[in-house]
Structure 1
Amino acid sequence: MSKRSAAGPHTPSVTPVFPLILLETMRDMDKPDEVLEGENLAASMPRRLGLSDVVYLQIHKFREETKKKSLQTPAVVEDLIRLVIRRPDADEIFEEAGRRVARHAWAEKSGASRRWLKLLPSGMRLHAAARGARKVMGEMAGSAQLEVQARPLLVRLRGSLTSTADPGGAACAFYTGVLAELMTQYTGRPHTAQHPRCHARRADACEWTALVAG
């Protein structure tokens, strides 16, 4: 099992892609499916947090930070997580944001690399997926201690950003989405992820495992 040492809680160590995609997902969830006749959008849209000027400015900021590859402190990301957990659809937002992060990471790979991975035997794909999970999770672990096991694939975070920001455990759905989508992309087969151990349930670490869907 490979390990990654933790950074300090106030050390810039988190990819700006994490907060950017989290806010973009919340914004997209708040976009109305349709505009009703006579609806005053100037009055109704500000009530949707994801469409507020504050969120718009934050998205713009993190887009610029992403272009510059400027790492964020865990504290900045935790504040945004606390913003999202107030919502009744927080679980859905976190998991979808995690899946989007994984798709972003996959798209960042060259076309040749993606084609080569699809030609590998299943066992080698799993090891490649574990390496991919370690890289992506490592960029978002912040001050947590990360451990990744290849077979069976298991990700463990001690002091995860999500459990620190949300003692209730809902935010951990973010990493659930990341792992499920990473496995789907690397193996070419739909996967789900389980979160059997969590700080919110008094475990000493948060753990995730991936399974073939269905």
Structure 2
Amino acid sequence: MKLEAITWQRMAERLAGHLDAPSAEGGPWRRVGIDGAPAADTGVLAGELADALRQRGRSALVVAAGGFLRPASLRFEFGREDVDAYLGGWYDTGALWREVFAPTDPGGSGRVLPDLWDPVTDRATRSPYTQLPTGGVLIVHGPLLLGHWFPFDLSVHISLSAGALARRTPPSDHWTLPAFARYARETDPASTADALVRADDPRHPAWTGIRAR
């Protein structure tokens, strides 16, 4: 696999340029998924892409998957370190479909809920809906995004080697490492995504570019 050294800013500009092309689905909004473990810090590329799009005169809304965690009573039903629960039960995918993706389907309202649940307070955020104008881009980022058939027009997976993932994951969260190993094995996001980024050293990312499908 050939990888090209690139900066995050330049990568965002390339992604923004790709999104200038008309959607194959013909919908009024484009949807981008930036997938990666928390240690991959997917919010950095999401923010850079939003900036690049706005410089092109396009609206962009960044939604973190972490704002759609389930309540603690559901996440920790089988214990605080259950790998199966983390893979299949921590994130409220139904709410993401209902509040984020359905409004940006063709014929949707464009009214997106940017977050639903605050895991610190374990309460609903009560955030207001955001109206994404026609032609705007929805950017969803966070872990485990590519195993749910979310309708992304463009997907990026930020990959870390096992060693880098372990180094950059806090020791208290090392119990999640087997979950990401399973995700890589069962979902194969490195092949599924439209673009693969290797970011063992976040100062020097490299990527495949946007691959033809």
TM-score (norm 1): 0.28
Query: Greater RCO between the two (CA within 8 Å, min separation 6)?
Result: 2
Q: Which protein is richer in helix relative to its size?
A: 1
TM-score (norm 2): 0.28
Q: Which protein is richer in strand relative to its size?
A: 2
